[in-house]
Amino acid sequence: MFHAVGLFMECGEMGDALLLFDKMAQRDVVTWNTVMTQLVKRGDIDQAYSLFLEMPERNVRSWTAMISGFVQCRRPEEAVRLFCEMEEAGLRANE
């Protein structure tokens, strides 16, 4: 399923990708990150952040995608806040 979601997104079929994502019975952190990262790439930072908040599990990549997204969308205060939250959660940024 992950490959199909990623493929739909890479082909610009965001609606189909999100529909498939919504119908998935089980989603791993990689699938969540794929959808969130593609939303960030498309400039839909608010939808990406909503998805981030729903994630049952986050890793450094999840946090980094959202922090980078806020920076790219010129929302530095939110990026800094999220960075601090990441560190409070016990995660360290990688290079």
Q: Tally Cβ neighbours within 10 Å of residue 92.
A: 7
* Higher pLDDT among residues 67 and 4, named by residue: 67
What distances in angstroms separate CA 27 from CA 35, 37, 88, one per listed residue? Answer: 11, 15, 25
68: in domain = yes
* Higher pLDDT among residues 12 and 85, named by residue: 85
Host domain of residue 62? 2-88
Query: pTM for the whole thing?
Result: 0.85
| Number of domains the chain is built from | 1
* Higher pLDDT among residues 53 and 30, named by residue: 53
59: in domain = yes
What does the mean pLDDT of the chain come to?
A: 89
Q: Tally Cβ neighbours within 10 Å of residue 29.
A: 14
55: Cβ contacts below 8 Å, ≥ 6 apart: 29, 32, 36, 62
- Please name the residue that has the structure tokens 């530095």: 76
For residue 95, what pLDDT band results from cuts at 50, 70 and 90? low
Q: What is the pLDDT of residue 13?
A: 86
95: in domain = no
HSE-CB for 92 with a 13 A CA cutoff: 2
> Is the model's pLDDT at 1 over the cut of 80?
no
> Is the model's pLDDT at 2 over the cut of 60?
no
CATH number at residue 79: 1.25.40.10
For residue 52, what pLDDT band results from cuts at 50, 70 and 90? very high
Which residue, 49, 54, 51, 53, is CA-closest to 66? 49
